[in-house]
Chain A
Amino acid sequence: MIKDFFKNNPVKRILMTSERNGSKNDNDTNKSNESMTSTTSPSMLTYSMLTNRRVLIDSITKLNPWYLAKQNPVMFTVEAGFFVVLAIAIFPNISTEFVSQNQIFYIEAAIILILTVWFATFSEALSEGQARARVDSLRSLEKEVSARKIVHGKEVTVTSTSLKPGDEVIVYSGEIIPRDGLVNEGKAFVDESMMTGESNPVFKEKGDHVIGGTKVASDKMVIEITAEAGRSFLDQMISLTQNATRPKTQNEIALTILLAGLSMIFITVIGTLLFLAYSLSYAVDIATLIALLVALMPTTIGGLLPAIGVSGITRLGRDNIIAKSGKGIEAAGDCDVLILDKTGTITEGSRSAIAFVPMQGYTEEDVGQAAFAASIHDTTHEGKSIVDLSEQKKFIPPLLEKILAARSIEFSAETRVSGIEFVASKKVAALNKEEEEEFREIARTVVNGKATDTIDRLEEDIDRASRSKVHDMLLDLEKTKESDEKEGKDQIRILKGAIDGVLKSAHPGVNVAELKWKAQEIGENGETPLAVSVGNKIIGLVVLKDNLKENIRENLNEVRSTGITTVMITGDNQLTAQVIAKEAGVDEIMAEAKPADKLKRVVEEQEKGHIIGMMGDGTNDAPALAKADVGLAMNSGTAAAKEAANMIDLDSDPSNILKVVKLGKQLLITRGAITTFSIANDVAKYFAILPAMFIVENPKLEALNIMQLHSPETAVLSTLIFNAIVIPALIPLSLRGVKFKPESPEKMFYRNMMIYGLGGLALPFVAIKAIDMVLTVFMG
């Protein structure tokens, strides 16, 4: 009982602060996690993939023309070109009219062509390899384990696969949780790093969800299995990661159509050029024509498109977000309204006390002491922060022991207050010494000898505080209680809570006007007032402030600069919400919102044509999550929320929605950039190959020969080589994504146009010329 009491007790934390440096308990778990998490590190992955045999084998099986014809028409055309050139290389006498070069040229051209295709299939295999690596690492967790099932109160060892929903199992420290479930009994730390990457073990108690495959790090607990075999979270995650690789998104489909259209145009162009040039009595070499076709076709984007799509899901996975489909990621890029919960996303979700405001006739210290007393049993962050602030200001009330032993009044939505109540005085007194002694004893043990200081300081603080009014009141209370007891009254309470709630138990003579005025003033600063009372007297107000999340302002600024409107939803009043919104840089607020308002807002915004992103964790968020275009559910949330959302954040960090949005944008940008680059490249390729084709018969083409390449053969080969090596050169870019800089769409448009448009126009001129110079050296 003492142990439990300790866990949430503020005083324990006072004692524990001094030992923080000494303890390295967590280190072991951390180390064991590293091996797990490192498999998902991007650089490691890419490196190991390059030498992965599976990837190589896949990239070669993907050369199958049937596969390419279905999946990648652009590359299929290149491969068809390869077969034609190969045929000519083998049978150079096949035609005299259309075959004019020497055999080596055709062999070289054929090799480059098949390399071009292979580079494309390799990039696809590589990206799939990455996705598979994640699945494999997840699978390794899914191994069958033995479980201790509770049958009629006894532990029976069974295999995890035989468990059914409703079964209860007990899991001890160091054991793997066999399947998803709910904690029925016990409290323990659970290591979820293999799922979430979060290295610190997570505290779980009754009612919390646990994930199968995670490990209990300390203590033990009884878990009720909730998932059927094969339907656990892990299974879902695996199937999502696998399946997410295949279906194409709308944009991908549209782009594929566009690329197919371009390819068909170029096939028409080259096919007719063959006849027309022949009619004009040019000696047309078929391999040169195929080279021109391959060069013109959007091979770069065609080759890399599958890899870009797959990489999106893998990269999201690295951020510990599981996408149920690629569609959600793409929608994320389109998001232009983000509905953010204030709590947990913009603010830490916990308000902290920052000041005490006394009522007339009291001092700040009075408020601090009373608030300390009222919060001593309050395990919420708010309560702890009040105690912390009191400690910090050395406003420790007297009779600490009694206060500790007083009955706690739990917060309820009805009363909206919490605090302590002094129960029958004698009993308290009797218990008092014993408990105090026990308490001090424990404290000493915990801090292992170093306690003296702390205890001394505590006592010092208690003494120092002796002159304050509340001090007197508290001491008075002691007396009053004794006297009250005779009268049968024992309702002496120290309360803190909502103004109205506290006023209910206050003396009618309390200056309500002063209280409300002071409370309003606090509210106007975006802070929350809590009234503190001792008995029926109101001492003052505690000022609570919501802490902004670290970097939230920067994050929101980035989001805004890309044209996204952020809406903050909060139950706070308008004033408080406005202040926080201003501090964090939120565009719009929905104050005093009820959970149902979320759905309303989502629908409203969608009707206006916005694409909505939101995250949520509660069951009452589920409809809104389902309706939103991008719904990110917290893994810590309810099953309904996770079911409704199209993405699940394993870290349960609501601000991760910003990551999703960025990634979605990055995917689209990468596709657009490489497409633009690919098309812009064509200009130089024309200037390289056309003179090579016609200059012998038509000296007028000298005017187009701006690159002055060595010979028609080197011109064709260097264009083809450039065309081929661009694909592997851009694999890292397509797997990593184009760098996303938060800026306005216009700026981004301009910048990317300059880099990939103009750059794509200029680069091949330089590169083809350079390759040509190298070839000249080799070919003499």
Chain B
Amino acid sequence: MTYVDTIIQTAVVLGGTLILAVPFGLYMARMISYEIRPLERTLAIVENKFYKLVGIDSNRQMTWKEYLFALLLVDGIVAAIFFIIVSTQNMLPLATPGLENFSIDLAFMQASSFITNTDLQHYIGDQQLSNLSQMVAIIFIMFVAPASAIAVSFAFIRAFIRKNFGLGNFYVDFTRIIITLLLPVAFISSLLLMVLGAPQTLESSLTVNTLEGNEQVITTGPVASLESIKDLGSNGGGFFGSNSAHPYENPNGLSNAYEIFLMLIIPLSLPIAYAKLVGKGRGVSLLIAILIGFGIAFAIALSQVSGPDLLETRFGSFGSIFFNIASIESNTGSANSALAGMSPNAVIALFLGMFVQAIPGAVGTGMMTMIIYVILTLFIVGLMVGKTPEFMSMKISPRDIKLSAIIFLVHPAIILIPTVLAFVTENVQAITEGEITPFTYTEVLYEFTSAAANNGSDYFGASADTPFWNWSTGIVMLLGRFVPLGLMLAIAGSFTLKDRKEVIEPIKTQGPLFISVLVVITFLLTALTFFPFIVIGPFSM
């Protein structure tokens, strides 16, 4: 690939995503503010039937606590179903002979992993799951997890629209997000991926006689339908163990580009929805800050050539870096190469994305995290103009700062403490079988960073299927998901009750100065927290 090709590819993919993010964002804005959507009548009829079946009053607004409770309950039930399916799969239909059930710890870890939108996999999908598990457990949960996060981000944005606008109703948001956003896009994308070569069959494998006359067993399944929602919903758990590196999941350069688009579209659309609902300048500035952050990570990753070992030839260094950056910065976590094939600089860039969690971060949570950065930035620099810091003309209270501070404290804590535990309890030594090098340390740090950021990419894969790693990453993922989500809902709950002033903000959360300060503070806080760990890890690899 020539230099020009890479530029064109970047421009087409990112430019195309941004262009499409506008209609996507505007559509989501209509979902958030209950405005008329295209095909509203039909959609409303379908949705109302749903609400009736579910047995809810769709007009009832929830408090942040109710919203969180409903979310936890739904996610809990789905996780339980997942747990049951994967631990009893060999007794269920579509099971291949000899398929084993997941152990308790693996089932716990994978249920946590998928419900938290992490999709860290301590199993090899094509070998350890039946097609029933892939569909009913995996594909289903891949709709539930992003829908939950997007629902929270809807509630979060509503908190800023106007006082007492109401945070919404979780069941309504959840239903609408799945039926009118994720399903249609995933459906069309699956068809596109099928055109590009991804299989979609209920057969779990096919056997061929190779040219040289040997028997080759090739695993197949409903790959396309899983692949699209995997990328669209920041999930990242591959049908195959090798994830998006597998030719069935990601057959060629075009599918690679399309999957990059899928991974970025919702995270980049939400700021547009935000722009539509709470101010064009604010939303666009947020988007620009996100893109600058993304650009910085991308540039760091590109500063060193990756591969060719452990990269797919059909993607090469650039295609792999582009995909992995898009995937990991958006906390999807579906690498199209082995992480070990990434250059140290690229690995640093991947870490950066998982530390910041907002460039652009996962669907829903990424934008919310960025807004938390905005609040924190406003607080620090807002004092400097001699006014009590305000966000959108609402005072930032000590409680808001406390909740935001916890969000930023939890993240390093659940990365660093388990990492130490893994070393101290010699569980690292158990699976790396060798002396501790900066590389093995990087692998461990990456595992927990990925778990904490609900990313899902990892070095270890199925080799970490031991009780320690399953329990520890499972707990980290749950904490990394639900503590921030709960706190963000609490912040939303506090902002929705606040008085808005019809006055000019002391510091506008828009414009070049604010964007640059926001980016600097975001990176500074991240760097100050994680710098030493990068220095002794990937930097020294």
- For the complex of A and B, the 9 pairs showing the least CB-CB separation, nearest first, are A609-B501, A672-B383, A665-B386, A261-B405, A672-B384, A272-B416, A254-B398, A745-B385, A752-B384
Known A-B contacts A254-B396, A265-B529, A276-B420; A672 and B535 likewise in contact (beta carbons under 8 Å): no
Are B536 and A276 in contact, CB atoms less than 8 angstroms apart?
yes
Which B506-541 residues have C-beta < 8 A from chain A? 506-508, 513, 517, 520, 524, 527-533, 535-536, 539-540
Tell me if B87 is interfacial: C-beta within 8 Å of chain A.
no
Question: In the complex, A757 Cα to B377 Cα: how many Å?
Answer: 12
Known A-B contacts A265-B408, A609-B499, A686-B531; A257 and B402 likewise in contact (beta carbons under 8 Å): yes
Known A-B contacts A694-B535, A745-B507; A254 and B380 likewise in contact (beta carbons under 8 Å): no
B385 and chain A: residue at smallest CB distance? A745
Tell me if A105 is interfacial: C-beta within 8 Å of chain B.
no
Which A329-353 residues have C-beta < 8 A from chain B? 330, 333-334, 336
Are B507 and A268 in contact, CB atoms less than 8 angstroms apart?
no
Tell me if A255 is interfacial: C-beta within 8 Å of chain B.
yes
Are B381 and A749 in contact, CB atoms less than 8 angstroms apart?
yes
Are B436 and A752 in contact, CB atoms less than 8 angstroms apart?
no
Question: In the complex, A682 Cα to B380 Cα: how many Å?
Answer: 15
Shortest distance from the beta carbon of B411 to any chain A beta carbon, whole Å: 9
Are A750 and B513 in contact, CB atoms less than 8 angstroms apart?
yes
Question: In the complex, A682 Cα to B529 Cα: how many Å?
Answer: 11
Tell me if B279 is interfacial: C-beta within 8 Å of chain A.
no
- The size of the chain A interface, using a CB distance under 8 A, is 66
Question: In the complex, A264 Cα to B528 Cα: how many Å?
Answer: 13
Which of A480-488, A496-504, A696-704, A713-721 forms contacts with chain B? A696-704
Which of A187-195, A279-287, A428-436 forms contacts with chain B? A279-287
Tell me if A67 is interfacial: C-beta within 8 Å of chain B.
no
Are B409 and A669 in contact, CB atoms less than 8 angstroms apart?
no
Shortest distance from the beta carbon of B107 to any chain A beta carbon, whole Å: 29
- Contact sample, A vs B, 25 pairs, CB 8 Å cutoff: A257-B401, A261-B406, A264-B409, A265-B408, A268-B416, A269-B529, A276-B419, A276-B536, A280-B436, A330-B388, A334-B388, A336-B503, A609-B500, A665-B386, A665-B387, A669-B383, A673-B384, A675-B383, A676-B381, A683-B528, A690-B532, A698-B536, A701-B535, A745-B385, A750-B513
Shortest distance from the beta carbon of B351 to any chain A beta carbon, whole Å: 14
Which A745-766 residues have C-beta < 8 A from chain B? 745-746, 748-750, 752-753, 756-757
Are A748 and B385 in contact, CB atoms less than 8 angstroms apart?
yes
A469 CB contacts on chain B under 8 angstroms: none
B516 and chain A: residue at smallest CB distance? A753
Tell me if B25 is interfacial: C-beta within 8 Å of chain A.
no
Are B398 and A672 in contact, CB atoms less than 8 angstroms apart?
no
Are B385 and A749 in contact, CB atoms less than 8 angstroms apart?
yes
Shortest distance from the beta carbon of A87 to any chain B beta carbon, whole Å: 23
B382 CB contacts on chain A under 8 angstroms: 672
B386 CB contacts on chain A under 8 angstroms: 333, 562, 664-669, 740, 748
Are B417 and A272 in contact, CB atoms less than 8 angstroms apart?
yes
B405 and chain A: residue at smallest CB distance? A261
Tell me if B379 is interfacial: C-beta within 8 Å of chain A.
yes
Are B501 and A608 in contact, CB atoms less than 8 angstroms apart?
yes
Q: What band does the interface of chain B fall in when counting residues whose beta carbon is under 8 Å from A? A: 35 or more
A608 and chain B: residue at smallest CB distance? B502
Shortest distance from the beta carbon of A273 to any chain B beta carbon, whole Å: 5
Binding site for B on A (CB under 8 A): 250-251, 253-255, 257-258, 260-262, 264-266, 268-269, 272-273, 275-277, 279-282, 296, 330, 333-334, 336, 562-563, 608-610, 664-669, 671-673, 675-676, 679-680, 682-683, 686, 690, 694, 698, 700-701, 704, 740, 745-746, 748-750, 752-753, 756-757
Report which of A258, A266, A272, A668 forms a contact with B387, defined as CB distance below 8 A.
A668
Q: Which of A251, A275, A563, A757 has the most CB of B within 10 A?
A: A251
Tell me if B504 is interfacial: C-beta within 8 Å of chain A.
yes
Q: Which of B385, B508, B527 has the most CB of A within 10 A?
A: B385
Are A276 and B413 in contact, CB atoms less than 8 angstroms apart?
no
A758 and chain B: residue at smallest CB distance? B520
Known A-B contacts A563-B504, A700-B540; A255 and B524 likewise in contact (beta carbons under 8 Å): no
A266 CB contacts on chain B under 8 angstroms: 528
A610 CB contacts on chain B under 8 angstroms: 501, 503
B4 CB contacts on chain A under 8 angstroms: none
Which B231-256 residues have C-beta < 8 A from chain A? none
Question: In the complex, A667 Cα to B533 Cα: how many Å?
Answer: 37
Question: In the complex, A672 Cα to B424 Cα: how many Å?
Answer: 40
Shortest distance from the beta carbon of A625 to any chain B beta carbon, whole Å: 21
Report which of B409, B528, B533 forms a contact with A296, defined as CB distance below 8 A.
B528
Are A250 and B397 in contact, CB atoms less than 8 angstroms apart?
yes
Known A-B contacts A609-B501, A610-B503, A698-B540; A279 and B384 likewise in contact (beta carbons under 8 Å): no
B533 CB contacts on chain A under 8 angstroms: 269, 272-273, 276
Additional A-B contact list (14), CB under 8 Å, known A250-B397, A610-B501, A700-B540? A254-B397, A257-B398, A257-B401, A260-B405, A265-B412, A266-B528, A608-B503, A609-B502, A672-B385, A673-B384, A690-B531, A701-B535, A745-B507, A753-B384
Are A265 and B409 in contact, CB atoms less than 8 angstroms apart?
yes
B385 CB contacts on chain A under 8 angstroms: 665, 668-669, 672, 745, 748-749, 752
Shortest distance from the beta carbon of B60 to any chain A beta carbon, whole Å: 29
Question: In the complex, A444 Cα to B520 Cα: how many Å?
Answer: 79
Return the CB mask of B415-444 against A: 1 if under 8 Å, else 0: 011011001100010000000111001000
Tell me if B393 is interfacial: C-beta within 8 Å of chain A.
yes
Report which of B387, B412, B524, B527 forms a contact with A268, defined as CB distance below 8 A.
B412
Report which of B441, B499, B527 forms a contact with A280, defined as CB distance below 8 A.
B441
Question: In the complex, A403 Cα to B432 Cα: how many Å?
Answer: 113
Shortest distance from the beta carbon of B195 to any chain A beta carbon, whole Å: 47
A277 and chain B: residue at smallest CB distance? B536
Question: In the complex, A358 Cα to B530 Cα: how many Å?
Answer: 84
Report which of B499, B507, B527, B528 forms a contact with A749, defined as CB distance below 8 A.
B507
Are A257 and B405 in contact, CB atoms less than 8 angstroms apart?
yes
Shortest distance from the beta carbon of A271 to any chain B beta carbon, whole Å: 8
Known A-B contacts A276-B441, A749-B507; A253 and B398 likewise in contact (beta carbons under 8 Å): yes
Report which of B396, B513, B529, B540 forms a contact with A746, defined as CB distance below 8 A.
B513
A700 CB contacts on chain B under 8 angstroms: 539-540
Question: In the complex, A748 Cα to B507 Cα: how many Å?
Answer: 10
Are A749 and B416 in contact, CB atoms less than 8 angstroms apart?
no
Question: In the complex, A609 Cα to B423 Cα: how many Å?
Answer: 54
B507 CB contacts on chain A under 8 angstroms: 745-746, 749
Shortest distance from the beta carbon of A692 to any chain B beta carbon, whole Å: 12
Known A-B contacts A276-B536, A609-B501; A756 and B529 likewise in contact (beta carbons under 8 Å): no
B398 CB contacts on chain A under 8 angstroms: 250, 253-254, 257
Question: In the complex, A66 Cα to B376 Cα: how many Å?
Answer: 30
Known A-B contacts A254-B401, A608-B501, A679-B524; A261 and B408 likewise in contact (beta carbons under 8 Å): yes
Question: In the complex, A775 Cα to B73 Cα: how many Å?
Answer: 62
Are A255 and B383 in contact, CB atoms less than 8 angstroms apart?
yes
Are B436 and A281 in contact, CB atoms less than 8 angstroms apart?
yes
Shortest distance from the beta carbon of A517 to any chain B beta carbon, whole Å: 42
B383 CB contacts on chain A under 8 angstroms: 251, 255, 668-669, 671-673, 675
Question: In the complex, A277 Cα to B384 Cα: how many Å?
Answer: 38
B423 CB contacts on chain A under 8 angstroms: 275-276, 279
B502 and chain A: residue at smallest CB distance? A608
Q: Which of B383, B384, B500, B506 has the most CB of A within 10 A?
A: B384
Question: In the complex, A667 Cα to B387 Cα: how many Å?
Answer: 9
A607 and chain B: residue at smallest CB distance? B499
B541 and chain A: residue at smallest CB distance? A700
Question: In the complex, A686 Cα to B409 Cα: how many Å?
Answer: 19
Question: In the complex, A265 Cα to B503 Cα: how many Å?
Answer: 36
B498 and chain A: residue at smallest CB distance? A609
B502 CB contacts on chain A under 8 angstroms: 608-609
B400 CB contacts on chain A under 8 angstroms: 254
Shortest distance from the beta carbon of A281 to any chain B beta carbon, whole Å: 7
Known A-B contacts A269-B532, A282-B536; A756 and B384 likewise in contact (beta carbons under 8 Å): yes
Are B416 and A269 in contact, CB atoms less than 8 angstroms apart?
yes
Shortest distance from the beta carbon of B97 to any chain A beta carbon, whole Å: 44
